[in-house]
Each structure stands twice: as C-alpha cells, then as structure tokens.
Amino acid sequence: MKPLPERPAEFRQQYPRVWEAFEKLGAACHEAGPLEEQTRRLVKLALAIGHRHEGAVHSAVRNAAAAGVSADQMRHVALLAVTTIGWPAAFAALTWIDEALAREATA
C-alpha cells in the first residue's frame, strides 16, 4: 500500500484513535452493500466531484486506480457531471483527476 499524502499522514499521527475509528467506519460502509469494488470507487469519485472537494477527488482517484479503475473510466465520471453540476465544476474535476493520475504515475 502506498503511503498517505503528507497532510493525512500528519493527521493520522496526531490523532491515531480518530484515524482508526474513521478507517473502521469507512471499511464498514465500503463492505455494507452489494456493489463491487470498482463500482464503489467510481461512486466515491462521483460523490467527491459532486461535493467539489479537490482533496476528496485526489483520494478517490488514488483508491480507484489501486482498484484497477482506468483513467478513461474516471474521466467519464467527470464528464457525466457536466449536465448535473455544470461545466465549470466538471472541468475542475477533470483537472483534479489528471493531477492525481500524474502524481500516481510519478510515485
């Protein structure tokens, strides 16, 4: 497993019990339903895009890539956002996806 980015790693070190509880909740939510791994990762990416949260998009891209989701599939999620949340937000998401993919390629 790749190391966390700097800021989340600092948070984990400063608040280990909170981080552990957060990880357990995330795992429980992730496994609670019938969706398969790649679908769950694309849904998480869509939620991050809809929330317009750059850090969450970067995290979702890292996790999706680790689950075998292709760059084209992730970009498709951002394109689907055009008619729901608008061009500027969808374009920002495409930029964030490409930034995160570039970081993954150099990591």
Determine the pLDDT at residue 5: 84
CATH class for the region spanning 36-106? mainly alpha
- Answer whether 0.75 is exceeded by the pTM: yes
Determine the pLDDT at residue 86: 97
| Tokens encoding 105 | 């390629």
C-beta of residue 17 within 8 angstroms of C-beta of residue 11? no
**Domain residues of the chain, as ranges?**
1-33, 36-106
The per-residue pLDDT for range 11-25, each reduced to its tens digit, is: 999 999 999 999 999
C-beta of residue 74 within 8 angstroms of C-beta of residue 97? yes
Encoded amino acid at 89, one letter? A
Residues of the chain predicted below pLDDT 50:
none
Determine the pLDDT at residue 1: 63
Determine the pLDDT at residue 74: 98
Burial annotation 7-32 (CB, 10 A radius, 16+ → b, else e) = eeeeeeeeeeeebeeeeeeeeeeeee
